[in-house]
Amino acid sequence: QVHLVESGGGSVQAGGSLRLSCVASGFAFSDNCMGWFRQAPGKEREGVATIDSSGKTVYAAFVKDRFTISRDNTKSTLFLRMNSLQPDDSAMYYCAKRASSAGYCDAGWIYALDARGQGTLVTVSS
């Protein structure tokens, strides 16, 4: 059974940093495309970043070099380092696994998820 458990969210002031973690279990973590998406109240979910099985990363335009996604396959853990946080970054952040794709992350990954975590809340105050 697939499990994804996020942690690391919290409340910070604008300009601050957070590091999100997601511990995965129940599947071959290293062989899969993994990503983070976020959803703010009343808004559509939006993809934040992905990392494929080879370590290739892709970021949403709004990240603007502020966030870094990484993975530790030895610990089946996904990370998202977020710097220079702004109030618009406030949202629930979710770790997610793309459905079988041979480890590749495509542009439509957010619509092809087969697992996600419960989310961790990020609140950025001005």
Residue 66 CB neighbour total at 10 angstroms: 15
Hey, is 16 helix, strand or coil?
coil
Predicted confidence (pLDDT) per residue in 64-101, tens digit: 899 999 999 999 999 999 999 999 999 999 999 999 87
8 Å CB contact between 52 and 105: yes
Q: Which residue has the higher pLDDT, 103 or 37?
A: 37
Query: pLDDT at residue 107 above 90?
Result: no
* Structure token digits, residue 115: 């697992």
Residue 80's nearest CA partner among 97, 93, 98, 62 is: 93
Predicted confidence (pLDDT) per residue in 41-55, tens digit: 999 999 999 999 999
Residue 64: C-alpha distances to residues 61, 68, 110 (Å): 6, 10, 19
Query: pLDDT at residue 2 above 90?
Result: yes
Residue 103: band (very low, low, confident or very high) from pLDDT cuts 50, 70, 90: confident
Percent of the chain with pLDDT over 70: 100
Strand 91-98, strand 34-39: pairing: antiparallel
